């Protein structure tokens, strides 16, 4: 059986090469060819001995998920649809900005957490993505986009904010993160790689210890009563427990704050009173807020908060000295905006209602 080398982070690749009887520096060479150069052809890895290339041809493969569609928004956002087999597809979004290019990566085919305002959750859940399927999104898009006019990689930032809950696929997500950070692979700064979680507290602690990167928490409500409805995992890890985990995370985080993501739902969580309650709930956590105008999708019962309401909500937070931004809606003409990623998931029944919260693994 051949080994897909995209499934291996640096440590695993070294172990695999050792099993082949090869020296560790050979693993580093191949890691650079694979990820820094985006090379899939072993014969093109010209600084490898011919005997090693022959060995790789016999025992290894490089198989990323295949791109089946590539849509370009009027604002420059690009949404890629990847085939991950078994009737499932996932979505990945590239967001270009003046000072950076951000790739939004998926970690699961669907999502079991079923947040009330998220299109991905409404598609149900089929399975976790493999390391090759997670890092393969970056590998494929990196090759496609190439370098910017300055000769630097077009993708400067990666966020695990696509389809799925990254920390519910912990081992594979962390292996992919380690490749993103490895100087022989993508060499991204920990400050430029962000994991977004709905609040799986034990996995947040593990991430802090094993691979601390920038952290974003999908909060979306200032009270347990409301968050229980909008983000059902809150029934297992309520806000006070989540805030304590955020404080613990900052002990090792590359940034000195946590970003709280907060989708603005008309008449649901967007009043001045909600903003003041939010300040009280997060008062012990060094943080900033990213307000997200709700992006509608078919069948959703929610509406987007009016611009003036969002502005006033942000004003309440900023008057308290909290850095607050409002996310620009990008790619909504191709359903690539926050909360709209749906892909195609074969099994549309495995949601939080069908998977009791106490059974969500981390």
Burial 147-180 (b: 16+ CB within 10 A, else e): eeeeeebbbbbbbbbbbbbbbbbbebbbbbbbbb
Going along the chain from its start, the domains and CATH numbers come out as 3-61 (1.10.150.530), 66-357 (3.20.20.70)
- In this predicted structure, the answer to whether residue 339 has a pLDDT above a threshold of 80 is no
Average pLDDT over every residue of 207-233: 97
Per-residue pLDDT reduced to its tens digit, 129-177: 999 999 999 999 999 998 655 666 789 999 999 999 999 999 999 999 9
Shortest CA distance to 198 belongs to which of 323, 313, 44, 357? 357
pLDDT confidence of residue 334 = 47
pLDDT confidence of residue 3 = 97
- In this predicted structure, the answer to whether residue 93 has a pLDDT above a threshold of 70 is yes
Percent of the chain with pLDDT over 90: 75
The Cα 53–Cα 51 span in angstroms is 5
pLDDT confidence of residue 273 = 98
Q: Which residues contact 303 (CB under 8 A, 6 or more apart)?
A: 265, 266, 267, 294, 296
Indicate which residues carry an active-site annotation: 91, 338
Label residue 341 by pLDDT band (50, 70, 90).
Answer: very low
3-state DSSP call for residue 255? Answer: coil
3-state DSSP call for residue 271? Answer: coil
3-state DSSP call for residue 278? Answer: helix
**Dihedral pair phi/psi, residue 126, rounded to 5°:** -115, -55
pLDDT confidence of residue 285 = 98
How many angstroms separate the Cα of 62 from the Cα of each of 5, 16, 34?
A: 6, 15, 8
| Residue 260, token pair as written in the block | 């709280």
pLDDT confidence of residue 117 = 85
Average pLDDT over every residue of 261-287: 97
pLDDT confidence of residue 47 = 93
Q: Which residues contact 241 (CB under 8 A, 6 or more apart)?
A: 201
pLDDT confidence of residue 356 = 37
Least confident of 8-17, 241-250, 336-345, 350-359: 350-359
* C-beta of residue 340 within 8 angstroms of C-beta of residue 300: no
Shortest CA distance to 220 belongs to which of 300, 286, 281, 297? 281
Longest CA–CA separation in the chain, Å? 69
- In this predicted structure, the answer to whether residue 348 has a pLDDT above a threshold of 50 is no
* C-beta of residue 90 within 8 angstroms of C-beta of residue 106: yes
Label residue 76 by pLDDT band (50, 70, 90).
Answer: confident
Per-residue pLDDT reduced to its tens digit, 296-334: 878 788 899 999 999 999 999 999 999 999 987 655 554
- In this predicted structure, the answer to whether residue 229 has a pLDDT above a threshold of 50 is yes
Average pLDDT over every residue of 251-268: 96
- In this predicted structure, the answer to whether residue 350 has a pLDDT above a threshold of 50 is no
pLDDT confidence of residue 330 = 52
Least confident of 21-30, 281-290, 341-350: 341-350
Give me the residue label for tokens 């297992």: 236
Average pLDDT over every residue of 349-358: 38
- Residue 294 half-sphere exposure toward CB, CA atoms < 13 A: 26
3-state DSSP call for residue 72? Answer: strand
- The percent helix, strand, coil of the chain (3-state, each to 5) is 40, 20, 40
Average pLDDT over every residue of 233-259: 97
Give the Cα-Cα-Cα angle 80, 164, 175 (nearest 5 degrees): 85
Q: Which residues contact 101 (CB under 8 A, 6 or more apart)?
A: 94, 95, 145, 148, 153, 154, 155, 156, 157
- In this predicted structure, the answer to whether residue 336 has a pLDDT above a threshold of 50 is no
Helix runs in 152-200, H state only: 170-181
pLDDT confidence of residue 150 = 61
Burial 7-25 (b: 16+ CB within 10 A, else e): bbbbebbbebbeeeebeee
Least confident of 22-26, 94-98, 265-269, 340-344: 340-344
pLDDT confidence of residue 74 = 85
How many angstroms separate the Cα of 269 from the Cα of each of 65, 281, 310, 321?
A: 38, 14, 11, 20
């Amino acid at each position: 059986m051949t080994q897909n080398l995209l499934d291996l982070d640096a440590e695993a690749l070294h172990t695999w090469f050792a099993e082949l009887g090869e020296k560790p520096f050979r693993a580093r060479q191949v890691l650079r060819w694979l990820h820094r150069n985006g090379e899939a052809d072993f014969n093109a890895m010209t600084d490898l001995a011919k005997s090693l290339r022959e060995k790789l041809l016999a025992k290894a493969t490089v198989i990323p998920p295949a791109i089946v569609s590539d849509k370009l928004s009027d604002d420059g956002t690009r949404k890629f649809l990847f085939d991950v087999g078994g009737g499932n597809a996932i979505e990945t979004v590239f967001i270009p900005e003046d000072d950076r290019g951000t790739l939004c990566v998926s970690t699961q085919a669907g999502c079991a957490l079923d947040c009330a305002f998220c299109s991905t959750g409404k598609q149900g859940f089929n399975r976790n993505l493999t390391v090759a399927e997670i890092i393969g999104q970056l590998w494929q898009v990196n090759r496609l986009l190439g370098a910017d006019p300055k000769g630097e990689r077009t993708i400067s930032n990666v966020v695990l904010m696509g389809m799925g809950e990254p920390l519910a696929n912990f081992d594979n997500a962390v292996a992919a993160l380690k490749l993103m950070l490895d100087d022989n692979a993508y060499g991204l700064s920990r400050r430029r790689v962000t994991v977004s979680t709905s609040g799986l507290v034990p996995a947040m602690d593990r991430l802090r210890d094993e691979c601390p990167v920038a952290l974003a928490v999908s909060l979306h409500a200032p009270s347990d009563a409301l968050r229980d409805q909008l983000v059902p995992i809150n029934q297992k890890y309520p806000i006070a427990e989540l805030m304590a985990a955020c404080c613990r995370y900052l002990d090792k985080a590359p940034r000195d704050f946590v970003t709280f993501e907060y989708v603005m739902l008309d008449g649901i969580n967007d009043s001045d009173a909600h903003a003041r309650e939010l300040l009280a709930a997060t008062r012990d956590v060094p943080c900033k807020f990213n307000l997200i105008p709700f992006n509608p999708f078919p069948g959703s019962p929610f509406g987007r908060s009016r611009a003036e309401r969002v502005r006033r909500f942000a004003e309440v937070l900023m008057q308290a000295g909290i850095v607050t931004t409002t996310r620009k809606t990008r790619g909504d003409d191709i359903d690539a905006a926050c909360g709209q990623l749906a892909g195609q998931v074969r099994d549309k029944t495995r949601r939080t209602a069908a998977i009791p919260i106490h059974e969500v693994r981390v």
